[in-house]
A = this chain, B = another copy of it.
Amino acid sequence: MRPAMTPVIQRRALSALVLAALPGLAAAQGRGDPLPSWREGGTKRAILDFLRATTTPGSADFVAPAERLAVFDNDGTLWVEQPLYAQFAFALDRVRALAPQHPEWAMRDPFRAVLANDMHALVQTGEHGLAEIIAVTHTGMSPEVFRQTALAWLATARHPRFARPYTECIYQPMLEVLALFRARGFRTCIVSGGTLEFMRPWAEQAYGVPPDQIVGTTFKLHYGLANGRGELTTLSEVDLLDDGPGKPAGIARAFGRRPIAAFGNSDGDYEMLEYTTTGPGRRLGLIVHHDDAAREYAYDRQSHIGRLDRALTAAPQQRWLVTSMRDDWARVFPDV
């Protein structure tokens, strides 16, 4: 800096530097409500109390920045999972797109059922049918080819009810939680039952979560040379099923530490919530309860998608917050 600079300009330069270097801190200290899409109430207060307790130096519950890990389920927690998981809608669309190359599919379930829109027959094929559909649509290609395929689908597919791209069927209140946690020095990581390769291409743009802060279901990878270039191919053998007890395992493998905050919405998140909140010190566990048929969906104990039964029963004893989408969220989706 040149000595001729005036103090005012120096102060401006200093401010610019602080803002550039510490965007999180600057955002956190900005004026106004950091969670504007959350209605005033116990859940919002509990989130803010938790952040204050764990990030205020000198607080009895202060947590060093390196230990500030918050984990978020994706389907039903960060974006819509009804009437069908987006990734399964993708798989069905891929079967339709690939069908001309597979005339034999017209005669053989589960493919025949998909192509005939015979959802009853599709359900009858059970886990085996599902595995076949996932295998032909997700494996036998490089992660890069899959990535391009997923991005192309996301660019054109529309949610059947909301008639907008799936990546816009994300929850505005949760975007605010992600941003606020990051502003307070947390790493915000996604721990999805969907596949890692499906999440990575778009999660950074949608949620601000980079590829290496995502845990998901993985397949084994084969390494080999193709035209002189080292390439990986996704195999159909599952490496990690990132659901239920697989979520704590996936978190430990990826980050090597126990989270101090966890957000979920279904029984598949039970173990992740339990692993997080039974650790020592101040902890936060939160369940998004879908009770808003008017603006989104209402489902819990009886749903085949995103069933919330065991975790809902356990929530009071485990001191997990149960957020009512209807009552706690002033809005559901971001403006687009």
Contact = CB atoms under 8 A, between A and B. Distances in A.
Interface of A: 1, 3, 5, 7, 10-11, 13-14, 17-18, 21-22, 66, 143, 196, 200, 210-212, 214, 218, 220-225, 228-230, 232, 239-240, 245-246, 248-249, 252-257, 271, 274-276, 278-279
A255 B196 contact: no
B248 A232 contact: yes
Given A223-B245, A278-B229, A252 B143 contact: yes
A255 to B, nearest CB: 5
A223 B273 CA distance: 12
Copies in the complex: 2
A232 B252 contact: yes
A204 to B, nearest CB: 9
Given A196-B256, A239-B253, 7 more contacts: A14-B17, A212-B255, A214-B256, A223-B248, A223-B275, A230-B279, A232-B252
Contacts of A257: 211
Given A239-B239, A256-B200, A278 B228 contact: yes
Given A7-B5, A13-B14, A14-B14, A249 B230 contact: no
Given A7-B3, A7-B5, A11-B1, A271 B230 contact: yes
A230 B274 contact: yes
**Max chain B C-beta neighbours (<10 A), residue from A11, A230, A248:** A230
A229 B248 CA distance: 12
Nearest to A143: B252
B14 A10 contact: yes
16 contacts: A1-B14, A3-B7, A7-B10, A10-B11, A10-B14, A17-B18, A196-B256, A211-B257, A212-B212, A212-B255, A221-B253, A222-B245, A223-B271, A223-B275, A230-B275, A239-B240
Contact of A212 (B200, B218, B225, B256): B256
A155 to B, nearest CB: 20
